[in-house]
């Protein structure tokens, strides 16, 4: 079977992928993708599900892949830029601002999505509640970060 030229959201199979410098991220992404989404689908050491988000690097233009906690509702997903409660945003935050077109892999399902930072207070409160329900440590991260943790709504493209 011939693979299509694109993987969605303007990304091509022949675009250069640059694995994370973080070993656990590299290993999780590799297991997830090697298995077609049947392995590596949970946060290491837990049963909490994760998705893989592929985006274009803001500085390099290379494809970047990050495992993020699975926060889904009605076919849309949330990307929480918590960085474990760090005072700084994760690098991928800047990637989404520069190019909101992403690919999302949720277990065996893969699709093209568009990221939009949520700024509306009511929508943010609703999605933040969903995020904390999916991954309770987000509440602690928000308390220790000393910043408003950015959240992005990932909606199906098209």
Domain segments of the chain as ranges: 6-156
CB 102 within 8 A of CB 96: yes
Each residue's pLDDT tens digit, 13-37: 568 889 999 999 999 999 999 999 9
pLDDT in tens, 28-65: 999 999 999 999 999 998 999 999 999 999 999 999 99
pLDDT, tens only, 103-114: 999 999 999 999
Q: What is the pTM of this model?
A: 0.91
Second-level CATH architecture of 6-156:
Roll (2.30)
């Amino acid at each position: 079977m011939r693979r299509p030229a694109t993987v969605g959201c303007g990304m091509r199979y022949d675009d250069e992928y640059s694995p994370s410098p973080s070993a656990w991220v590299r290993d999780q992404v590799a297991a997830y993708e090697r298995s077609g989404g049947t392995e590596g689908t949970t946060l290491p050491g837990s049963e909490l599900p994760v998705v893989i988000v592929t985006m274009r690097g803001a500085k390099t233009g290379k494809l970047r892949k990050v495992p993020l906690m699975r926060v889904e509702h009605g076919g849309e997903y949330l990307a929480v830029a918590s960085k474990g409660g760090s005072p700084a945003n994760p690098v991928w935050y800047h990637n989404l601002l520069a190019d909101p077109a992403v690919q999302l892999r949720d277990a065996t399902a893969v699709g093209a999505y568009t990221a939009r930072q949520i700024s509306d207070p009511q929508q943010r409160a609703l999605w933040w509640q969903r995020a904390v329900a999916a991954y309770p440590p987000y509440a602690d991260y928000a308390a220790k970060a000393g910043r408003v943790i950015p959240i992005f709504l990932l909606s199906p493209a098209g």
